Structure 1
Amino acid sequence: MPVSLSHPARRLFIRRTAQLAVAGIAAPLVPTPALATESDVRSLALDHTHTGEQLDLVYAQGEQYVPDALASLNHFLRDHYTGDVGVIDPNLFDLLHRVRLELGVSQSFEVISGYRCPTTNETLRTTRSGGVARRSLHMDGKAIDIRLPGVPLSELRDVALSLQAGGVGYYPSEQFLHLDTGRVRRWQG
């Protein structure tokens, strides 16, 4: 019986293989003689609510980001309306990773929106009843709209706020949280 890419054993195998590959590539760049520990590895698991795509990867080890992983994340978080791919701020990935660590969970974030091209942003801003900023950080690859299955949205919000790492927009009626790497602020939509 074939194992799907989303099967937990397959995902674990892929994650461990990627970690070993990253260790082999990044070890010469890291100034420590030993291989990085598990805590030095930063990973993300994402499910896109609009495209149906899933991604589970190691994007950094120690102080080194993995270029191929960043490219995969940029593509995954592309504007799902136009297909335009932006460059996502790696600090946003670190923020998501920290949120998962603080919550002590490993499940995938559900992504509602990542990068938005200016045309999409303007269309959404003028056709929705608010909630889309004229100069949205989504256009700069510094914002993401997410939820985390099994975690109450208010708990997700509280953890994000406690990190003091950027903006946190709480949208309980739409069931998502906006996170960004801009200045520290909060709002409710």
Structure 2
Amino acid sequence: MTRQKLISLQASRRFFLHRSAQAMLLGGALGLAGRSARAAAPSARSLVLDHTHTRERIDLVYASGEHYLPQALGSLNHFLRDHSSGEVGQIDPQLFDLLHAVRLALGSGAPLSYQIISGYRSPLTNARLRSTRGGGVASHSLHMEGMAIDVRLPGVPLAELRDAALSLKAGGVGYYPRDQFVHIDTGRVRSW
């Protein structure tokens, strides 16, 4: 092998190793979901959520391109657990995409922090709420299937949040100005 070919192969190998190391670091960064990972991966979808009942906060990248990140989905399932019973449900990943899309529809690329009023609800919790809220809770709520979430966005008027969700025509949108939240779900398109 000529000296020139050997140098070329060594340079190619270094380039390959350098790119591989960059890819591994990006993969790790997506798992850690730091803000720098969002900047480095434009196809990454992220959420920042504050839970009004548990006082917990989560800030993560949950998907990259067409792929959901299983560890992030597990973290979101736990975060959105039934705050009354602690029971963890399986949340529909499309619900996260809806929240992400609503944020984009509001014209903000910045990771606005949603306040979560209700995520997953166990059947027992749903029945209790139904009996104490005077019929304001559906008997077969999509919250029990991990397909619904009740949210607000500090600094964004509730009507604007509702209108952004409605503009997507991607599921159900309920408007609760008295209780200061918007219900968003991945069921059929409807509004109330």
For normalisation by structure 1, the TM-score amounts to 0.80
Q: Give the 3-state SS of the residue equivalent to 2:164 in structure 1.
A: helix
Aligned partner (choices 73, 77, 82) of residue 76 of structure 2 = 73
Correspondence for 1:21: 27
Q: Distance in 2 between matches of 1:52 and 1:23?
A: 25
- Say what the alpha-carbon RMSD is for the aligned residues: 1.8
Correspondence for 1:155: 160
Q: Give the 3-state SS of the residue equivalent to 2:49 in structure 1.
A: strand
Count residues with an aligned counterpart: 159
In structure 1, runs of 5+ residues without a counterpart are 1-18, 26-35
Matched, 1:41 2:44: yes
The list of structure 1 runs, each at least 4 consecutive aligned residues, that deviate by more than 4 angstroms after superposition, is 22-25
Q: Distance in 1 between matches of 2:161 and 2:26?
A: 31
Displacement of 1:104: 2.5
Correspondence for 1:124: 129
Q: CA 1:133/1:22 → structure 2, altered by over 3 Å: closer, same or farther?
A: farther
Matched, 1:170 2:175: yes
- Bigger-Rg structure (1/2): 2
In structure 2, runs of 5+ residues without a counterpart are 1-24, 32-38
Q: Distance in 2 between matches of 1:47 and 1:57?
A: 12
For normalisation by structure 2, the TM-score amounts to 0.79
Q: Give the 3-state SS of the residue equivalent to 1:39 in structure 2.
A: coil
Correspondence for 1:135: 140
Matched letter for residue 21 of structure 1 = G
Correspondence for 1:144: 149
Deviates more, 1:101-110 or 1:158-167: 101-110
Aligned partner (choices 89, 93, 99) of residue 92 of structure 2 = 89
Identity of aligned residues (%): 68
Q: CA 1:24/1:41 → structure 2, altered by over 3 Å: closer, same or farther?
A: closer
Q: Distance in 2 between matches of 1:39 and 1:133?
A: 38
